Structure 1
Amino acid sequence: MTTKIDDPTKLVSDAEQEAAEADALIEALEERVREGDDTVTPDQIEAQRGVSRFARLRADAARRKAAAVRETKHDELVAQLREDVAALNEADLGAMAKLYEGLVRDGAKLQSLIEAWHGKRGDLLGRSQALGFDPESPASPVFALVEPPRDAVALAAAQAQGKAPKGAAEHALTVTGGWATVVEGKRARVQAQRAERIDRLRTAEDRARARAAAPASTVSERAADLKRADEMRAEREQIEANR
């Protein structure tokens, strides 16, 4: 009859302990004889040697049983591992593959829209420059454009992993509050820059006109100051027209 073994290590340990105790009893009997104990008989020593040998055989058997149990357990764990690997491939990987295919399609669409947007932006910049506007000036109508990043697909992947570069939120298409939040933020900053520029232009214009009206101003100085004042007024009016 085979007994179920729950702990092969303990099985071996107990059997080896039993064999060690049997060997110790032989040594104890022999030592008693050496000390002159006449009550110890040869039959007792031989009988104990038989017990000791039997205990060692049981220890050998325990080691073999433990090895068999460990091998069986190992085989069971390997089989379970194979089942889990197959399940992971069939279920989770399949679901991820579908999502990945969707991301590829959507990423291609997004990149196409971004490239089209930048193409239109380039046209607007060209028209703006042809009309004499500096794209970096608040007076330019294109100054308020909010640019979607050309590397939006890679940026989105980085954001999904929490690895978006510093400052990416100012340009990302997906942030807290959505793209509208980015646009509103850019518009607010542009309006503040334009308001600041208007104030500076108005102050400079007033000073130029004041210098032109000064009695000590020469004809050429007066003409130059009035020209600068008119230029500042024209730029200010252009900025105000874009607000």
Structure 2
Amino acid sequence: MTQMTPQQAAEAIRTARTEQEEAEQLAASLEERVLDGDPDVTPAQITEARELARFAELRITAAERKHAAAQEAARHATARDIAARAAELLSREDGTELVDAMRGAADALSRLAAVAEKRHTLVTALGGELADITEQLGGSVVQMRERYGVAGDREQIIMYDPRTVVRTVSPAVVLAAAVRLGVGTHSLAQAAGDALTAPDERVKQMFAAVPALAEAWRYSPEEYAALSQERRLDALNTDRQPVPEDAPPTAAA
């Protein structure tokens, strides 16, 4: 059987169907002429027309088989190509680019969280001191403004000349805003927010999908041994502990 592309086989089907229709029309026309009393139509002509129609029908079946075979060959080629590309991805250390990007993002978020926490702590502390002074004045913000030109609490600090407000913002809000600004689209940001309802599970899911990421974040036995109990628990919750055969024995409590 000659190998065809799906397009070639589909064209062959259309051609054979056209030939069948023409042969059937010819046979019907000849039969109608006989019924009309035409003496020039011979049995051989009608037989030949019917045989042509039958032959065209066989060609249709043959073309349909070739079409099915061509489609299967195309599916097989596509599937094998995908498998080869996936294998190539693994052979190139799957996730190298993702590991680098993830490491950069994680480091940046870690720094952002530290900066946000430092600011939040400072503003909260300063505002708390102002709140204590306000309480000593009987809770009068007016006296704070008139006497000192400043007032505030743990949420905000107001300076009146010129009027300037310094507000607290939690590190969590800062990190959420960074994700929203970083991903660019509301739908993706919303999806990321939904995923954060179970952050440890998302880390495990990511590691399972991209082993290179798991290896990049997995603690070595030496690193794991040096962790505090709290950090070890965090490593266990996110599947970053050493692989079992390399894990050091747990110290007695």
Structure 2, unpaired ranges of 5+: 152-157, 160-164, 187-253
Does structure 1 residue 137 correspond to structure 2 residue 165?
no
Partner of 2:229: none
* Letter matched to residue 134 of structure 1: V
Output the CA distance in 1 between the equivalents of 2:115 and 2:36.
Answer: 98
Aligned residue pairs total 163
Superposition TM-score, scaled by structure 2 size: 0.51
The superposition leaves residues 83-134 of structure 1 with CA deviations (integer Å, 9 ceiling, x where unpaired) of: 6777597366445433442244224313321333234324542564377583
Does structure 1 residue 149 correspond to structure 2 residue 154?
no
The superposition leaves residues 189-243 of structure 1 with CA deviations (integer Å, 9 ceiling, x where unpaired) of: xxxxxxxxxxxxxxxxxxxxxxxxxxxxxxxxxxxxxxxxxxxxxxxxxxxxxxx
Output the CA distance in 2 between the equivalents of 1:107 and 1:21.
Answer: 77
Output the CA distance in 1 between the equivalents of 2:3 and 2:122.
Answer: 77
Partner SS state of residue 106, structure 2: helix
Deviation at 1:55, TM superposition (A): 0.9
Give the alignment's Cα RMSD to 1 decimal.
Answer: 3.5
Partner of 1:16: 17
Output the CA distance in 1 between the equivalents of 2:115 and 2:123.
Answer: 12
Contact in 2 for aligned 1:134/1:140 (Cα 8 Å): no
* Letter matched to residue 75 of structure 1: H
Contact in 2 for aligned 1:111/1:152 (Cα 8 Å): yes
When residues 3 and 77 of structure 1 are mapped into structure 2, their CA distance, relative to the original with a 3 A threshold, is closer
When residues 84 and 118 of structure 1 are mapped into structure 2, their CA distance, relative to the original with a 3 A threshold, is farther
Contact in 1 for aligned 2:33/2:41 (Cα 8 Å): yes
Partner of 1:216: none
Which protein has the larger Cα radius of gyration, Structure 1 or Structure 2? 1
Partner SS state of residue 36, structure 1: coil
Contact in 1 for aligned 2:4/2:66 (Cα 8 Å): no
Looking at secondary structure, tell me which structure has more strand per residue: 2
Structure 1, unpaired ranges of 5+: 164-243
Superposition TM-score, scaled by structure 1 size: 0.53
Output the CA distance in 1 between the equivalents of 2:51 and 2:70.
Answer: 28
Deviation at 1:77, TM superposition (A): 3.8
Instruction: Give the stretch that moved more between structures: 129-138 or 146-155.
Output: 129-138
Contact in 2 for aligned 1:29/1:40 (Cα 8 Å): yes
Query: For 1:97, which of 93, 98, 102 is the aligned residue?
Result: 102
* Letter matched to residue 28 of structure 2: E
Partner of 2:40: 39
